[in-house]
């Protein structure tokens, strides 16, 4: 019902989204861009092709002014006067396609981006649990016969493969050790996959990207969902990541929540901003305001639709929510 209403309202959005866009800033969020099938991502992220990504960039550039990190801060301070509303391009997770595919496109178009990384995965030392789940779901799809013990491990009575895949993909951060048990049964070698395909960026590549002027910043140590952690756990993974960024000369002024900032309470932000070097943080709730003024919400761009369509739908949804005063996330 909600989607139907938003689709109808989006159809009425003007051709110039820059003018109708409800905020002064647009924060698009991506993870990867590829024309190839990426088994570690295909079941968890609907990443775009190079052409789809370029189409998004061209659309955004037509209606907004892309800015770099310093210009974003200067704009928020009132000392930078853009010709249009601004857009700050962001990526999460530090996947290798950022270096191989995205940056050459951005350099050609003169667009800055910041990539929020998890140090635990840099240099392909480890793999995020969601990527492991994607590889296992892929293996479950392709194997001729499934070891019955897999269903036992997952407490599944239904032997349908789609049910099995769905269960694997629902495993969370706290349960992630189960993925290593399943890997053995599904004949998936995570370390061998990492060695061969190198899904993540290396330290040297990150330093090269920094030298080229791109941002490398914080996305927690190993990608937990912050709403599921205690305050102490939240700060441990956050502080450890900032130490890594400082040590390597990366951008340590910002933090982007892994997954979402849903259910993250005010006490975390109070603790976070005791560190005076941190300028702001980022969620990914779409076009939305936040009672924590330095926490900015980004727009997920990998939902199977064009950038133009996503921005129009987000704008329509914001208008709808304003009627009910539901455009601000309130932290308690």
DSSP codes joined into one string, 37-72: --TTTTTT--PBPHHHHHHHHHHHHHHSEE--HHHH
Return the pLDDT at 41. Answer: 98
Mean pLDDT, to the nearest integer, of 261-281? Answer: 97
Contacts 24+ apart (CB under 8 A), 194-199: 194/124, 194/126, 194/127, 195/124, 197/40, 198/96, 198/124, 199/38, 199/40, 199/41, 199/95, 199/96, 199/121, 199/124, 199/127, 199/131
CATH 3.20.20.370 in the chain, residues? 2-126+200-329
What is the Cα 292 distance to its own chain's centre? 20
Q: How far is CA 263 from CA 136, 173, 272, 283, 330, in A?
A: 29, 16, 16, 11, 10
pLDDT surpasses 80 at 83: yes
Tell which residue, 258, 178, 173, 222, has the closest CA to residue 164: 178
Mean pLDDT, to the nearest integer, of 63-92? Answer: 98
Cα angle, residue 210 at apex, residues 206 and 215 outer, rounded to 5°: 95
DSSP letter at 200? B
Tell which residue, 330, 171, 174, has the closest CA to residue 264: 330
The predicted model scores a pTM of 0.95
Return the pLDDT at 324. Answer: 84
Check residue 259 and give left, alpha or beta (phi > 0: left; psi -120 to 50: alpha).
left
Distance CA 226, CA 33 (A): 26
Mean pLDDT, to the nearest integer, of 11-34? Answer: 88
Distance CA 40, CA 189 (A): 12
pLDDT surpasses 70 at 155: yes
Element (H, E) at 114: strand 113-117
Return the pLDDT at 29. Answer: 98
DSSP letter at 78? T
Return the pLDDT at 6. Answer: 61
pLDDT surpasses 60 at 151: yes
Lowest mean pLDDT among 61-70, 97-106, 139-148: 139-148
Tell which residue, 82, 50, 49, has the closest CA to residue 63: 82
Return the pLDDT at 10. Answer: 59
- Average pLDDT over the chain, rounded to an integer: 95
pLDDT surpasses 60 at 88: yes
pLDDT surpasses 90 at 216: yes
pLDDT surpasses 60 at 8: no
Q: Which fold has domain 2-126+200-329?
A: TIM Barrel (3.20.20)
Return the pLDDT at 325. Answer: 82
């Amino acid at each position: 019902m909600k989607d139907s209403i938003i689709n109808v309202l989006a159809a009425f959005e003007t051709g110039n989204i820059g003018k109708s866009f409800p905020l002064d800033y647009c924060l698009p969020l991506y993870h990867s861009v590829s024309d190839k099938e990426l088994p570690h991502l295909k079941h968890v992220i609907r990443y775009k092709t190079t052409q789809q990504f370029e189409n998004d960039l061209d659309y955004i550039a037509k209606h907004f002014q892309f800015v770099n990190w310093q210009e974003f801060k200067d704009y928020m301070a009132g000392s930078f006067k853009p010709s249009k509303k601004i857009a700050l391009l962001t990526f999460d997770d530090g996947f290798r396609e950022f270096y191989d595919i995205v940056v050459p496109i951005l350099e050609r178009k003169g667009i800055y981006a910041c990539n929020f990384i998890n140090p635990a995965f840099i240099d392909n030392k480890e793999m995020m649990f969601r990527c492991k789940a994607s590889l296992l779901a892929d293996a479950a799809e392709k194997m001729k016969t499934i070891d019955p013990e897999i269903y036992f491990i997952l407490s599944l009575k239904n032997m349908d493969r789609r049910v099995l895949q769905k269960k694997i993909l629902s495993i969370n951060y706290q349960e992630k050790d189960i993925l290593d048990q399943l890997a053995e049964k599904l004949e998936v070698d995570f370390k061998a996959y990492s060695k061969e395909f190198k899904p993540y960026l290396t330290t040297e590549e990150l330093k090269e990207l920094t030298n080229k002027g791109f941002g490398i910043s914080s996305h927690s140590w190993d990608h937990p969902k912050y709403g599921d952690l205690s305050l102490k756990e939240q700060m441990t993974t956050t502080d450890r990541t900032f130490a890594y960024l400082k040590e390597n000369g990366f951008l340590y002024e910002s933090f982007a929540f892994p997954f979402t900032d849903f259910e993250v309470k005010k006490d975390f932000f109070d603790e976070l901003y005791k560190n005076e070097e941190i300028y702001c943080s980022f969620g990914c709730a779409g076009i939305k305001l936040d009672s924590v003024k330095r926490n900015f919400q980004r727009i997920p761009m990998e939902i199977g639709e064009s950038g133009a369509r996503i921005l129009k739908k987000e704008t329509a949804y914001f208008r709808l929510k304003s009627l009910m005063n539901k455009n601000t996330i309130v932290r308690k």
